[in-house]
Amino acid sequence: MTRALLPALALLCLAAPAQDTYKAAVDAWHASREVRLAAEDGWLSLIGRDWLNQGENTIGSAPGSTVLLPEWAAPARAGLFLLEGTTVRFRPLPGCGLLLNGKPAAEAVLKSDADGTPDVLMAGRVKFYLIRRGARLGVRVKDPENLARKAFRGVPRYPVDPAWRVEAEFTPYATPQSRAIPTVLGTTEPMTAPGLLRFKVGGREVTLEPMLEEGEHPELFIIFKDATSAHGTYPAGRFLYADMPKGGKVVLDFNRAINPPCAFTLFATCPLPPKQNHLVFEVRAGEKEPEAH
């Protein structure tokens, strides 16, 4: 890629701190990101994701179990998940040895991640809990001793370049728009688009449509792919988070573009970039495709 395709420094590069200070800040952020990835409860500890069916769902190490646990962690039959509509009742079987929220497991209606903090079951060191994705309910299984976590040596990335820290104009929609965002599961997930981001690259105007990441500290969530996708970066695209607009402006720091969780595990449920966020040029900033993928 030629320098002409980089954001024009005179127009786009913010009046930022000195380059060394800026690079040190991005490096520190990236180091923290790698620590989170490799945490005992991070994405690299995922070993399973099983979808529940209406009615009875078996839990255990027996082949054919709906929620399959390692044989060294659980008996052949450890319990049941009873799905009725959108309610999941957990029923342990005698002698299962499971814990629920740190205590010997008893029958209970379980909370999923959609309810905030999910109820957590444990079989030895293995954790599992409910996730809700659209109309589907599933179980996510994690093992802190997963080989992917043990073998993790960091995420490759492009050299930090202040030219990729840009200021975009934010144009809000009169009414926030609902979007059906595709996922790696072949489904769609409803998300809210609050407006459009506009900036220039190599003299051309670029637009990206962010989604609203709600919560205690709302953020803009940009799901995008570019000409490096499958040519150095993860084929499905990357994620970028940004602070909410201030004075109609949003700082987009592509040096902080990250791989989606599905770049690290087969058991994630990632959203994919909508067509309006497919960029025809290279964004040679942020994380590259993980070497072990």
> What average pLDDT values come out for the chain (293 residues) when binned by 10 residues?
47 59 96 96 96 98 97 97 97 97 97 94 98 93 96 96 95 97 92 97 92 89 97 97 97 98 94 97 97 62
Residue pair 223/241 in contact (Cβ under 8 Å)? The answer is no
Cα first-last separation, the chain: 25
Q: What is the helix (H) or strand (E) element at residue 37, kind and residue range?
A: helix 19-37
Residue pair 179/273 in contact (Cβ under 8 Å)? The answer is no
Instruction: Name which of 114, 123, 57 is nearest 90 in CA terms.
Output: 57
Beta bridge partners of 88: 83
Determine what percent of the chain falls in helix, strand and coil, rounding each to the nearest 5.
Answer: 15, 40, 45
What pLDDT, on the 0 to 100 scale, is given for residue 7? Answer: 52
Per-residue tokens: 245 = 């607009």
User: Distance (Å, rounded) from C-alpha 98 to C-alpha 100?
Assistant: 7
What pLDDT, on the 0 to 100 scale, is given for residue 293? Answer: 46
What pLDDT, on the 0 to 100 scale, is given for residue 196? Answer: 98
What pLDDT, on the 0 to 100 scale, is given for residue 203? Answer: 84
What are phi and psi for residue 30, nearest 5 degrees?
-65, -40
What pLDDT, on the 0 to 100 scale, is given for residue 11? Answer: 39
User: Distance (Å, rounded) from C-alpha 59 to C-alpha 100?
Assistant: 14
What pLDDT, on the 0 to 100 scale, is given for residue 139? Answer: 98
- Residue-range domain boundaries for the chain: 3-38+154-277, 43-150
DSSP codes, 205-253: EEEE-PEEE-SSS-EEEEEEB-TTBTTTB-TT-EEEEEPPPBTTEEEEE
Pick the CATH number of 43-150 from 3.90.600.10, 2.60.40.420, 3.65.10.10, 2.60.200.20: 2.60.200.20
What pLDDT, on the 0 to 100 scale, is given for residue 135? Answer: 87
Across 236-270, b (16+ Cβ under 10 Å) vs e yields: bbbbbebeebeeeebebbbbbbbbbbbbbbebbbb
